[in-house]
Amino acid sequence: MSELSDRPAKAVVGESIPHEAAIGHVTGAALYTDDLVGRTHGVLHAYPVSAPHAHALVTRLDTAPAYDVSGVVRVLTADDVPGVNDSNINHDEPLFPTEVMFYGHPVCWVLGASLEAARLGAEAVQIDYEELPSIVTIPEAIAAGSFQGRAPTVSRGDVEAGMSAATHVFSGTWEASGQEQFYLETQASIAYVDEAGQVFIHSSTQNPSETQEIAAHVLGVTSSEVTVQCLRMGGGFGGKETQANGYAAIAALGATLTGRPVRVRLNRNQDIQFTGKRPDFLSTWEAGFDDEGHLLALKVVFTADGGWSLDLMQPVLSRALCHVDNAYWIPNIEAHGRIAKTNRTSHTAFRGFGGPQGMLVTENILGTVAPKLGLTGEEIRRRNFYRSADQTTPYGQRVRQIERLHQIWDEVLTESDFAGRQREIEQFNATHEHTKRAIAATPVKFGISFNKSSMNQGGALVLVYKDGSVLVNHGGTEMGQGLHTKMLQVAATALGLPLSRVRLAPTRTDKVPNTSATSASTGADLNGGAVKHACDQIRDRLAVVAGGILGVPPADVRFADAAAYGLNSEREPIPWEELVRTAYLQRIQLHAAGYYRTEGLEWNEETYQGSPFKYFSYGAAVAEVEVDGFTGAYRTRRVDVVHDVGDSLSPLIDIGQIEGAFVQGAGWLTLEDQRWDAGEGPTRGRFSTQGASTYKLPSFSEMPEVFNVTMFQNATEEGAIYGSKAVGEPPLMLPFSVREALRKAANAFGPAGTSVHLASPATPEAVYWAIEDARAKSTDSVAAQEVPATIPQRVPSGV
């Protein structure tokens, strides 16, 4: 086993401990960015002036009336920018636009002594617009040829030959809707400037280094003149990976120009209206199967709604293309991707980062086709699983540990008593005309690492003080996922200390520079490797000191229970504090910078071939639902999950992550129905579902009545920090099982062999229409969907 994955005896990693800030969260003692306003003297409040058009030119901007409002101090416009008027690393998002690109686009910002003064000042600003034609849906973008960025392809084999060899060919169009991150804490930043001109920014950001970079280039200064700190976030889910940058830049610009601290905090409506979401995907597909249900060929075209600028859409699309196969061997495949340019907010990262949209297409195909081939959804999935580590993904990476997927699949079916409950459900459905139940299982195979190889690096700074106390700095950000908790456990394990001896500092760019975003489920892998590297350096120096005292070679010194002891030494172990004091007196360095980079990655962005992922995370879920035939309303009766997290760093944290990801994924798939105004009226392009009253989020009432989560055992991941695997994103795809169970329940309202289209999200309304579709099908019409012939029958499936 490698040194990185080797877990010592008496390790603190692997212990089930609460989140390091859990008490602070529930008591209100934990501070978030905006909580610092009350501790900041003379702070100014920023308020945006938003455009009431989806697409328009600014023909006149008069800020003078705002200064007549009591309390208004400054109006920020493009003329005030000393550096680059742009808020994104792609250089396609003007911080102060002259061309409005989406409904609500902030044109300028008013700074006031109070938030109310800033709001009234914003109302007083006078702007004239020349309205321009707008594109607000993917079909409109396709018709207009409105695209942006690259149009990549992942392919293998000969799709046309595969289709010709298939005895059943189906085709269809599929739309996966977007999703609002709806973090509890909205976008927030506070900036101030010290006497030396150094800019300090508190930001709710997943990417402090990029926030630092954007603020610096807006201000026209170097990155060394800007420091960004993130205390913690009240949720992020990808929505603060890039989109926090512009708000931090506004605060920094205002602080630089006025000499006073400036606070930017969006209210809920502004946050939802201004910020990007999980992008909608519109996909067309064609799939060829043999008589046994093996998927021989798949051709799919993904069109992703990027909104008005690129943001992170190119890597989002890349991940979708790299996950269209999910857990399935597809010998002949072509997956094409393109990014629509629309007059919506610039869409961005969301937990799963395109992977869910790519995987959902194939899962929808299998769920739709299975009844038409006389198979269950579970059987058609099992028949198409990857079988051997010699098989590769469509982009050329070997599928290691595929045996885990088969073991997990068997385990979840056994633990959930799938076969027995299936029989019970059949009996229930036979005696209940207007209520149906269904049970379904789906798998997950999710690649871990950034698709862009250069981002797979992390840093840390570990300080040991003379009294033996330890302070850990690392480049990851805490958004509630428990990363800080895991890093404390990693440091305590590496140094042989109890958790109480180790403290963690907030993430900031003047301690650990050039960090990657905390995203792509890499936070524990990258930062854990860096923290361990720093601790190992300190421990190795201390081992030399301890070896001299204990009379053993440094290699024979071990650290545990806050002491150093020697193998086969008759001398008493040296207490940690005594050893640290001795090392200090001997002028031994007691701090270290740690660094980690993921090895073994290879990716060609031109050919879309290589091995972009360190490893795959596997999982499977079984879900049972009950559906009301009159309304389409449903409830999730039970969920069983088996998921592979390697050797868990922190089991309590990981269980929470699996449960939370499942519920969030179920929200995307069944509840969260985004609505954009696509009419020709004055609110065209407006995001209509702007709050919890109109945007349905999962709550306790949507939780499964029985929710069993099991972490796959004996699953050490060689070459990863203490044998663990990432857990943030992969479980989000487990609730595909809920969606497939809803489809099965709708099918049960029709004759045997019925296969209905189920829209996404599968809201009660969508389920109702699927039920109506099932009821309308006769045995003859079902049989007519597939006519036996020597020539493949091309049957449209879906809408």
| Distance between CA atoms of residues 724 and 483, nearest Å | 13
Q: At residue 222, what is the residue type?
A: T
**156, containing H or E segment:** strand 153-156
| Distance between CA atoms of residues 404 and 646, nearest Å | 11
Nearest of 240, 181, 265, 232 to residue 22 by alpha carbon: 232
**3-state SS track over 87-126:** CCCCCCCCCCCCEECCCCCEEEEEEECCHHHHHHHHHHCE
Six-digit token pair at 14? 């692997």
DSSP state of 34: G
DSSP string, 713-767: SS---TTSGGGB---SSGGGGTTHHHHHHHHHHHHTTS-TT------SS--HHHH
| Distance between CA atoms of residues 414 and 346, nearest Å | 44
| Distance between CA atoms of residues 659 and 643, nearest Å | 11
| Distance between CA atoms of residues 653 and 18, nearest Å | 7
Six-digit token pair at 190? 């506070």
Six-digit token pair at 797? 């499936």
Of 185, 672, 729, 740, catalytic = 729
Would residue 602 show up in a list of annotated catalytic residues for this protein? no
| Distance between CA atoms of residues 572 and 791, nearest Å | 83
Strand residues in 223-377 grouped as ranges (E): 226-230, 262-265, 281-289, 295-305, 332-340
Q: Name 620's Cβ contacts closer than 8 Å, sequence gap at least 6.
A: 405, 408, 409, 411, 412, 441, 442, 443, 444, 641, 642, 643, 734
Distances (CA, A) of 305 to 177, 302, 344: 10, 10, 9
| Distance between CA atoms of residues 567 and 170, nearest Å | 67
Distances (CA, A) of 111 to 75, 95, 106, 260: 6, 16, 14, 10
Six-digit token pair at 287? 């799939």
| Distance between CA atoms of residues 772 and 631, nearest Å | 10
Q: 444-480 as b/e, with b when 16 or more CB fall inside 10 Å?
A: bbbbbbbbbbebbbbbbbbbbeeebebbbbbbbbbbb
DSSP string, 463-502: EE-TTS-EEEEES---SSSSHHHHHHHHHHHHHT--GGGE
Determine if residue 570 is left, alpha or beta; phi over 0 gives left, psi from -120 to 50 gives alpha, anything else beta. alpha
DSSP-assigned beta bridge partners for residue 446:
617
CA angle 703, 705, 711 (to 5 degrees): 80
Give catalytic residue positions: 729
